[in-house]
Chain A
Amino acid sequence: MSEAPPKLEWRSVAKRFDGPPVLRSVNLSVAAGHSLVIMGGSGEGKSVMIKIAAGLMPLDSGQILIDGQDVAAMPARERRRLPARFGMLFQGGALFDSLSVWENVAFRLINADGVTRRQAKLRALEALDRVRISREVAEFYPSELSGGMQKRVGLARAMVANPEIIFFDEPTAGLDPVTGRAINALIREQVKSLGCTAVSITHDLNSARHIGDEIAMLSGGVIVWRGAAADIDHSGNAMVDQFVHGDP
């Protein structure tokens, strides 16, 4: 019996803006139902990696494969439907200012999936329950919420339509340690309960240990190490050790 292809794969992915390449040749994959964390220093291109995978940014060369299928070779109709298979929690939440909390969570259901507002609101409230946001808050606007609450709402929005792959962009950035731990626990719990594939990027080692089954280290535009989250402290890789110990 042949082995199932990875859920998501970066194959020789390269990307350059003005100046030297940000990604030189990234090769990385994540199996279905697994949680992969990508770590690396500032400006190494971690966000670029997930934006390329999520279809938010074009790549210069290489391939993105989903379930073994090259995204670029997919028929246009199938490619247009790809975002429906993804969810994404943005670093700053990226909640829509002009919409209430529940409207943010129900956005995809109402505007892309054709669910009635009534049904969508019920599903949004259930999603908010799952991330421990009380129903009174559902009518608030994003500007009335703390950073931690915005992240929870963003998490509910990313998960409400049961995506196959969820991307987390610095999920604990800007949060105090207690709130950060709560968000990590929520991510772990929700990803496992939905059975989806998760790809996260973070600088936060504690967060990476908590939410990742595996960790990959990006440096110099390539993946320099990959292993189980439990192995991060004895990776045998000098760059990873330097990152873990915070050595200059």
Chain B
Amino acid sequence: MSSIPAPLQPLQAIGRSFLNIVRTTGAVAVFAGRAVLAVALPPWFPGQFARQLIGVGYLSLPVVGLTAAFTGAALALNIYTGGGRFNAEQIMPQIVALGITRELGPVLAALMLAGRVSAAFAAEIGAMRATEQIDALHTLSTDPFRYLIAPRLAAAVLVLPLLTVVADIIGIAGGWVVATRTLDFNATVYIRNTWDFLQSWDVVSGLIKAAVFGAIIALMGCYHGFNSSGGARGVGRATTNAVVSAAILIFAGDYLLTTVFTHT
């Protein structure tokens, strides 16, 4: 029975939610700190790292490539339409390149990985929690952070920028195909315009974003899996929470990083 007067109960609920947010933020921060330490300090598990590189990177190539190709193509069409309203269709290659490298390449690659990898991390680690495999690691003198979390975090931070390079190239190529096949752009001029316009910072800023998104994806997947409880239902809940929180943090992080990059 609550001792809070009825009119104040909504405030109590707001306060409880706020405290939960603060508690969770603190727990995630501690988890992230331990994960970073586990990446930085030995012992390392190269076999686990290699396994994650393949799972996170190589197996994500098709989905990232396809997403980038279609996005680049659609972006080209939209910019062509918008540019046509003030007779500026010719800037389409430059805008496509800028949009892909600075924004859509890293964000879309990250979102695809949030769906594919963050969910997989949460489900796998959550299932290990439910079946006491994480406790078993402790009893086998192995720190779960070093064995489970560190290889995933390192792999995601390393691989997402590489996937973003692939997404950048394929995305720009998608725009090029549409421009040259359906909008009568000259193929060579399109490529030259793109190349001359792009600055190295456009690409590098996208890659920095990608590395940060990689950390977000790995940490959200691992955090929710590691702290799951309640058997199969808990694993399902952890998976959903991992994807949703990763996606939200990717968008929030994207805005923050873009703000920082715009003012530097």
Contact = CB atoms under 8 A, between A and B. Distances in A.
15 contacts: A56-B138, A56-B139, A81-B141, A83-B140, A86-B139, A90-B132, A94-B132, A94-B135, A96-B128, A107-B140, A108-B142, A111-B45, A111-B141, A112-B142, A157-B140
B136 A112 contact: no
Given A111-B45, A111-B147, A96 B136 contact: yes
Contact of A88 (B43, B45, B139): B139
A54 interface: yes
B133 interface: yes
Contacts of A56: 135, 138-139
Interface in A48-69: 51, 54-56
Which range contains the number of A residues in contact with the other chain?
20 to 34
A111 B142 contact: yes
A173 interface: no
Nearest to B140: A108
A94 B135 CA distance: 8
B131 interface: yes
A76 to B, nearest CB: 14
Interface residues of B, number: 15
Given A90-B132, A91-B132, A94-B131, A84 B141 contact: yes
A90 B140 contact: no
Interface string B9-28: 00000000000000000000
Given A111-B45, A111-B147, A94 B136 contact: yes
B142 A96 contact: no
A92 interface: yes
A87 interface: yes
Nearest to A84: B141
Interface of A: 51, 54-56, 81, 83-84, 86-88, 90-92, 94-98, 107-108, 111-113, 157-158, 167
Contacts of B133: 94-97
A54 B139 contact: yes
B63 to A, nearest CB: 22
A83 B139 CA distance: 5
Nearest to B51: A98
Given A83-B140, A112-B142, 15 more contacts: A51-B135, A54-B138, A55-B138, A83-B141, A86-B139, A90-B135, A92-B131, A92-B132, A94-B131, A95-B136, A96-B128, A98-B51, A108-B142, A111-B147, A157-B140
A54 B132 CA distance: 13
Nearest to A109: B140
Contact of A112 (B51, B131, B132, B140): B140
A167 B135 CA distance: 13
Contacts of A83: 138-141
A95 B136 CA distance: 8
Instruction: Give 9 nearest A-B pairs by CB, closest first.
Output: A112-B141, A94-B136, A94-B132, A88-B139, A108-B140, A83-B141, A90-B132, A84-B141, A56-B135
A188 B140 CA distance: 22
Nearest to A169: B132
B13 to A, nearest CB: 20
A90 B131 CA distance: 9
Contacts of A54: 138-139
Nearest to A82: B141
Nearest to B133: A94
